[in-house]
Chain A
Amino acid sequence: MRDAVRTFLEHECPPKVVRDAWTNDTGRSGLWRRLGEMGVLGVLAPEARGGFGGDYLDLVLLFEETGRAALPEPIVEHAAVALPLLDNGRVAAAAAGDLTITVVPPSGLVPYAAGADLVLYDGEFVEPGALSLQPHESVDGSRRLCATATPPSSTNVAASDRAALGVAAQLVGLADRMLTMTVDYAKERQQFGVPIGSFQAVKHHLANVALALEFARPLVYRAAWSIARSDDARSVHVGMAKARASEAALIAGRVALQVHGAIGYTTEYDLHLFLKRAWALAASWGDAARHVDRVGRAILDTDMTPEEQ
């Protein structure tokens, strides 16, 4: 399934699709129903209701692919946050992609609200027209943001954990994509008569990205596993995953830009599409510092031991 989604997105969501989403009406890819057909939107929905019947490990593997492609869709909001809260009557339509549901995060900045059918706000599904929405522009031109008049007054911890997990998986995919792009570039780009990837300074930058990624990804898988079995410490595990995935994507982007040099600093080149998505997602649903703080409250203000987590 993961491989099928990767292949699908390689063909159907190349950088041109992401780039077009910056300027089209919706900011989206046009692939929503096909993602429904493949089972990606309904990954958590039971098969009896037209879903894939998967668990959270399936979810993070698929979301990693949506991150790798920088798929411009509210898929975390829809498939990871809203769908498990939806009444049974609407699950099939959500899984099929006949509906688009987005979610107002604690910041009050909601992506893709204008074209959504439903918005999850303070625990209620409402139509976007029922909210007072102020459009904003994101650094990532495909993320069509609106601000609600007031941020949500309450936090659903389980829903926030699912959101942070989904975004963490996307950040791992983004980091991996930027690393791959940059390694490919460093093998090809010649200066002083040799590929720049043969210089030790460049090698060490890229090794550091591989390091961040290698030790972020297992934390994302573990957090998914903890949510799947309702582990008592699942929020702590999600915090670790989101913190490390955010950091991995940020260092991947920073190094990618530096190694590409001036070409990476143009909007003609594709790197900026991934870089700006990484900036936006690294801070959404809690940045690394916020999640480290959350982990700290759990481990330092209690007597938890590493084996017990």
Chain B
Amino acid sequence: MDLTFTEEEQAFRAEARTWLEANVPRPALPSGDTREGFALHKEWERALFDARWAVVSWPQEYGGRDASLMEWLIFEEEYYRAGAPQRVTQNGIFLLAPTLFELGTKEQRNRILPRMASAEETWCQGWSEPNAGSDLAGIKSRAVRDEANGGWRLSGQKTWTTRGAFCDRLFGLFRSDPDAERHRGLTYFLVDLHAEGVTVRPVERLDGDEGFAEVFLEDVFVSDRDVLGAVHDGWRVAMATTGSERGLTLRSPGRFMAAAARLADLYRAHADHADPTVRDSVVRAWIDADAYRWQTFWTVTRLMDGGRTGPEASLVKIFWSELDVRLHETALRLLGSRAELVDGEDAGWMKGWEFSLSGPIYAGTNEIQRNVVAERVLGLPRR
């Protein structure tokens, strides 16, 4: 096991750092989960794409740099270290794109990926429904064959669709075989949200942003070329995506390392009047971020040697989501009675705390993840 960075990796880090320092927007952009913030974020994403930093791990033909997993991690560390904006393109880039690379057709990749990377077309995910959350196999939205037009007609309701009110397209699962139950008879569709029959209703989230949406579909036509993977095989196709979501690509360690460094700064600023027991929590947040970094390096080393991520990804999802909650909780303790302020220079911590609370819920609740760990990592019996 070699844990040193190569000269190429160090040069890559230096190039990323230089570009980011010169180009990261100052002051920071407003939240990308608001309409005006989203538009500004798309401009930033376009700048990233033009400099070929939007999708470093992708092949060059789609706007990437063919970067290794290690280089991707280095880029992420530099990205968050520089205080660069959240990625409003992330659901497309980190959830849909890996599935397209694995199971999409050449035509789909050529048509979709460059526009996704440049943020000309933004994507949201359509998994959850009012009665299918943790129990995702309970999906009821349906797809009916339209043979005459060479496609499908989608009807039903998707919900908790992050940035659904601003995005252009949605990827999700629909029941294409009405007689099949649970995981069978589902198909993975790519849906144009501007198409006839689509109604999007924004839903205000706990943190006050219109980041959520309900998406209603009534007889929406989707062409055969927008079926991803085989018809009725959607569950398997979707699981390829959630594997990467829970695993490496949704939350890179760089994000938490940057947050731990900001927390340490906050501690130094408030140490003289903070509760003395809070210091311990600050240090533990730092150690958590560091542990996450090294666990990731270890995993990446294994992957670069030809391994694959499996149910261990559930451990990772539990860890980063709960570390994020503890980290923000610690920041609020440092701020004390000023923590409730959502204006002024420290307002980001309350906002961050609110957002961190979604982590143990989305992408599979941590209760479900602990079941996955127990059953598929440790081998305990299902009921």
Per-residue CB contact flags for chain B residues 346-383 toward chain A (1 = under 8 Å, else 0) read: 00000000000000000000010111011101111111
Given A219-B290, A299-B286, A204 and B367 contact (CB-CB distance below 8 Å): yes
Residue contact A214 to B295, C-beta cutoff 8 Å:
yes
Task: State which residues 145-182 of A face B: CB under 8 Å.
Answer: 179
- Determine the distance from Cα of A300 to Cα of B292 in the docked complex, in whole angstroms: 19
Smallest CB separation, A283 vs chain B (Å): 17
Evaluate contact between B383 and A244: CB separation under 8 angstroms. no
- With A211-B373, A296-B279 as given contacts, are A197 and B380 in contact (CB-CB < 8 Å)? yes
When distances are taken between beta carbons in the complex, the residues of chain B under 8 Å from A289 are 280
A218 touches B315 (CB 8 A): no
Q: Is A99 an interface residue (CB 8 A)?
A: no
Known contacts A210-B373, A306-B260; is A296 also within 8 Å of B292 by CB?
Answer: no
User: Which residues of chain A come closer than 8 Å to B312, judged between CB atoms?
Assistant: 214
A218, B297: Cβ atoms closer than 8 Å: yes
B295 touches which of A207, A208, A218 (Cβ 8 Å): A218
Q: Are B370 and A203 touching (Cβ within 8 A)?
A: yes
**How far does the alpha carbon of A300 sit from the alpha carbon of B271 in the complex, in Å?**
10
Contact B370 A198 (CB under 8 A): no
Report yes or no: A296 in contact with B282, Cβ–Cβ below 8 A: yes
A156 to B290 Cα, complex, angstroms: 26
Given A216-B291, A221-B298; A306-B286 close (CB under 8 Å): yes
Minimum CB–CB distance for A230 against chain B, Å: 13
Interfacial residues of chain B within 97-149, with CB under 8 A of chain A in the complex: none
Among the listed stretches B31-39, B171-179, B186-194, B261-269, which one makes contact with chain A, having 4 or more residues with CB under 8 Å of it? B261-269
Taking CB atoms and an 8 Å cut-off, the chain A residues in 188-223 that contact chain B are 194-195, 197-198, 200, 202-204, 206-208, 210-211, 214-216, 218-219, 221-222
Q: Decide if B283 touches A198 in the complex (CB within 8 Å).
A: no
- Give CA–CA (A203, B377) in the complex, Å: 11
Is A225 close to B, CB under 8 A? yes
Q: Are A292 and B370 in contact (CB under 8 A)?
A: no
| In the bound complex, CA of A305 to CA of B98 (Å) | 32
B380 & A292 in contact (Cβ 8 Å cutoff)? no
| Shortest Cβ distance from B312 into A: residue | A214
**Cβ-Cβ contact count across A and B, 8 Å cutoff:** 127
Q: In the complex, what's the smallest C-beta–C-beta distance from B313 to chain A, in angstroms?
A: 11
Chain A proximity mask over B64-89: 1 for CB below 8 Å, otherwise 0: 00000000000001000100000000
Which residues B2-55 have CB closer than 8 A to chain A?
3-4
A305 to B258, CA, bound (A): 9
Interface residues on B, range: 35 or more
User: Which A249-305 residues sit within 8 Å CB-CB of chain B?
Assistant: 289, 292-293, 295-296, 299-300, 305
- Central interface residue in B77, B286, B298, by most chain A CB within 10 Å: B286
Partner of B290, one of A210, A240, A293: A240
The answer to whether A240 and B291 have CB atoms under 8 Å apart is yes
Most buried by A among B283, B289, B379: B283
Would B81 and A240 count as touching, CB distance under 8 A? Answer: no
A57 in complex: contacting residue of B1, B286, B318, CB < 8 Å = B1
Decide if A187 is an interface residue (CB 8 Å cutoff).
yes
Q: Which residues of B contact A216 (CB under 8 A)?
A: 291
- Determine the residue in chain B with the shortest Cβ distance to A309: B290
Q: Which residues of B contact A305 (CB under 8 A)?
A: 81, 261
The distance from the CB of B4 to the nearest CB of chain A, in whole angstroms, is 8
Report chain A residues within 8 Å CB of B271.
300
Query: How near does chain B come to A218, taking the closest CB pair, in angstroms?
Result: 4
Residue in B268, B291, B382 whose beta carbon sits within 8 Å of that of A215 in the complex: B291
Contact with A along B268-296 (1 / 0, CB 8 A): 10010000000110111011111111110
A188 to chain B, nearest CB (A): 10
Cα(A143)–Cα(B293), bound, Å:
36
Q: Does A211 lie within 8 Å of B319, measured CB to CB?
A: yes
Q: A243 an interface residue at 8 Å Cβ cutoff? A: yes
B257 at the interface (CB under 8 A from A): yes
- The answer to whether the Cβ of A3 comes within 8 Å of any Cβ in the partner chain is no
Contact B315 A210 (CB under 8 A): yes
Identify the interface centre among B4, B288, B290: most chain A CB within 10 Å of its CB.
B290
Q: Let me know if A210 and B380 touch, CB within 8 A.
A: no
Q: Is the CB of B268 within 8 A of A203?
A: no
Shortest beta-carbon distance from A207 to chain B in Å: 4
CA distance A96 to B258 in the complex (A): 48
Contact, CB under 8 Å: B261 / A306: yes
Q: Is the CB of B294 within 8 A of A222?
A: yes
- A207-B377, A293-B280 known; 14 new pairs, CB 8 Å cut-off, are A194-B383, A200-B367, A200-B371, A203-B373, A207-B369, A207-B373, A210-B378, A215-B291, A218-B297, A229-B4, A289-B280, A299-B286, A300-B268, A305-B261
Q: What 7 pairs between A and B have smallest CB-CB spacing?
A: A203-B374, A306-B257, A296-B283, A218-B294, A207-B370, A197-B380, A207-B373
